[in-house]
């Protein structure tokens, strides 16, 4: 299991990557993290929130 500092760095990296992309590209970039085998991870849960926000879906 990843340490909290590792998770923070992964989140920052993901947010930096997404900041460089257009909305449709962001959603495509997040899709692999939404897969069942990754969705339950902290990064997968973040991806779910970001994907929903990008679509304008309320949590």
Q: What's the distance, Cα to Cα, between the start and end of the chain in Å?
A: 27
pLDDT tens, residue by residue, 9-27: 999 999 999 999 999 999 9
pTM of this prediction? 0.79
pLDDT tens, residue by residue, 22-51: 999 999 999 999 999 999 999 999 999 999
14: Cα within 13 Å, side-chain hemisphere: 24
């Amino acid at each position: 299991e990843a340490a909290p500092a590792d998770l923070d760095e992964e989140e920052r990296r993901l947010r930096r990557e997404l900041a460089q992309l257009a909305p449709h590209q962001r959603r495509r970039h997040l899709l692999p993290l939404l897969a069942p085998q990754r969705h339950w991870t902290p990064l997968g849960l973040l991806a779910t929130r970001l994907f929903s926000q990008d679509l304008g879906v309320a949590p």
